[in-house]
Amino acid sequence: MNVAPGSSPALAGPRWLYLHGFASGPQSAKGVALAEHYARQGIHLERLNLRQPSLEHLSLSAMMRTVRDAIGGERDRAIVFGSSLGGLTACRVAEEDARVCALVLLAPALRASEQMRRTVGEESLRRWQETGWLETQDYAEKRKTRVHFGLIQDLDTIEARSGGWPDVRVPTLLIHGRKDTTTDIRYSREWARDKRHVRLVEVEDGHELVDSLGRIAAEADDFLRPFLTGAPQHG
């Protein structure tokens, strides 16, 4: 069957997408490990580049557009994995785009603007706003870089539309470390509370969740079992 670029056959299974976190990239340890795990099952987990339009001018709106484009055409569907800021991106796309059929969130940066302000601190936040730039570490390229204050402004605008919390209705697996000092687990607990479609799994790990990769893969396999049988491999 010939299929137009960017679309898939009407009865094909969903695309599988992985969204990395802030100042990370497609080669992140979790993304690579999960891609290898699903490759052994004949599934292509596509690791998107969410440094959009660039890390210096990072924008959640641009990240969301990148994900929507990657899903394909209007008849395509996607299972979306998201880590940290990528997890928030996955949520924000899912609440607006019916093509997302399931989420796997890893320490998602819920209420990211609020959490960033807390992490940066009052004095650094003031300098960030006054100068327009915040110095940070680029974990993908292993160098110092800077991020424009427009990121916070974009987050504020998007969060204002929904009272701060993503309105996600699709089945969601959420894995978060109790030792996470970057994205506080209490936000995940609050968001998951009383949501029957959200399964929260707490692990004894930090933000990177590197000690929990086996647990993550096992939990995701169990959660996504309905999609694993006969799943197509998209190139």
Which residue shows structure tokens 């960033």? 116
Chain-wide mean pLDDT for the chain?
92
Percentage of residues of the chain with pLDDT beyond 70:
92
User: Would the pTM count as exceeding 0.85?
Assistant: yes
In a domain, 230, yes or no: no
Residue 228: pLDDT band by 50, 70, 90 thresholds? confident
Q: How many angstroms from the chain centroid is the CA of residue 146?
A: 21
Number of Cβ within 10 Å of residue 121's Cβ equals: 11
- Residue whose C-alpha is closest to residue 93's, from 57, 119, 61: 61
Q: Which domain holds residue 177?
A: 15-112+166-225
Q: What is the tens place of the pLDDT at every residue in 106-143?
A: 999 999 999 999 999 999 999 999 999 999 999 999 99
How far apart (Å, rounded) are the C-alpha atoms in residues 213 and 61?
A: 29
Is position 9 within any domain? Answer: no
If pLDDT is split at 50, 70 and 90, which confidence band does 5 have?
very low
Could you give the number of structural domains in the chain?
A: 1
- Average pLDDT of the residues in 168-197: 97
Residue range 24-53, pLDDT digits in tens: 999 999 999 999 999 999 999 999 999 999
Residue 158 placed within a domain: no
Report, as an integer, the average pLDDT of 160-168: 91
123 in a structural domain: no
Check residue 13 and give its pLDDT: 87
Residue 122 lies in a domain: no
Residue 142 lies in a domain: no
- Does residue 73 carry a pLDDT above 90? yes
CB 101 within 8 A of CB 170: yes
The CATH number of the domain where 41 resides is what? 3.40.50.1820
